[in-house]
Amino acid sequence: MSLPENNSSLPLDEIDLRLLRMLQANSSLTTKQLAAKVNLSTTPVFERIKKLEKAGYIKNYVAVLDAEKLQKGLTVFCNITLKEHTRIIGNQFVKDIVSLEEVVECYNISGDYDFLLKILVKDMKEYQNFVLNHLGSVKNIGSAQSTFVMGEIKNSYAVPI
């Protein structure tokens, strides 16, 4: 299977796709380990990975942390509606939200709401403090609707390839 090529992309063959799948599952695999799994020597695997990084297929390498062990076990999804919709207000909202460390993801969405936030906090008391002292200070929020995660069923950072 080969993904379609676009202006800023390079054509991917099956080995590239296998490398991407393996790195998504475990980015700490060494070039030697990857090479053994795709039956190539280390140099071409290293070069392929560098090309994938340069072309933007690989954006970053991160460690996935356990939020519960780090006292951030309450996940909240918060739907936000803005009072007004102007470029200046939207840009200021984005700037304010990006500065809040509890907000780990923010999406501009369609439908009844303007933005969807994923927020990680310790517990309900910390979330209440966050809403009152941080989210509440963000200007032009018309409404905020919170949904609390009771249990995580599936959580994957992998892009389906």
Confidence bin at 2 (pLDDT 50/70/90): very low
Q: What is the pLDDT of residue 36?
A: 98
- Taken as a whole, the chain contains a residue count of 161
Q: What order of strands is seen across the sheet that includes strand 74-82?
A: 103-108, 115-121, 74-82, 141-148
User: In this model, does residue 144 exceed pLDDT 80?
Assistant: yes
Q: What is the pLDDT of residue 8?
A: 60
Confidence bin at 1 (pLDDT 50/70/90): very low
> Between 2 and 77, whose confidence is greater?
77
Annotation: CATH topology of 14-54: Arc Repressor Mutant, subunit A (1.10.10)
pLDDT tens track for 86-142: 999 999 999 999 999 999 999 999 999 999 999 999 999 999 999 999 999 999 999
> Between 132 and 2, whose confidence is greater?
132
User: In this model, does residue 149 exceed pLDDT 70?
Assistant: yes
DSSP string, 92-150: HHHHHHHT-TTEEEEEE--SS-SEEEEEEESSHHHHHHHHHHTGGGSTTEEEEEEEE-S
Reduce the DSSP state of residue 79 to 3 states and report it: strand
Query: Is residue 160 within 8 Å of 99, Cβ to Cβ?
Result: no
CATH 3.30.70.920 in the chain, residue ranges: 74-148
- Say how many CA atoms lie within 13 Å of 159 toward its Cβ: 8
What gap in Å lies between CA 16 and CA 92, rounded to an integer?
A: 40
Query: Is residue 121 within 8 Å of 71, Cβ to Cβ?
Result: no
pLDDT tens track for 63-84: 999 999 999 999 999 999 999 9
What gap in Å lies between CA 115 and CA 79, rounded to an integer?
A: 6
CATH 1.10.10.10 in the chain, residue ranges: 14-54
pLDDT tens track for 7-63: 467 899 999 999 999 999 999 999 999 999 999 999 999 999 999 999 999 999 999
What gap in Å lies between CA 79 and CA 144, rounded to an integer?
A: 6
Q: What is the pLDDT of residue 10?
A: 80
Q: What number does CATH give the domain 74-148? A: 3.30.70.920
Q: What is the pLDDT of residue 122?
A: 98
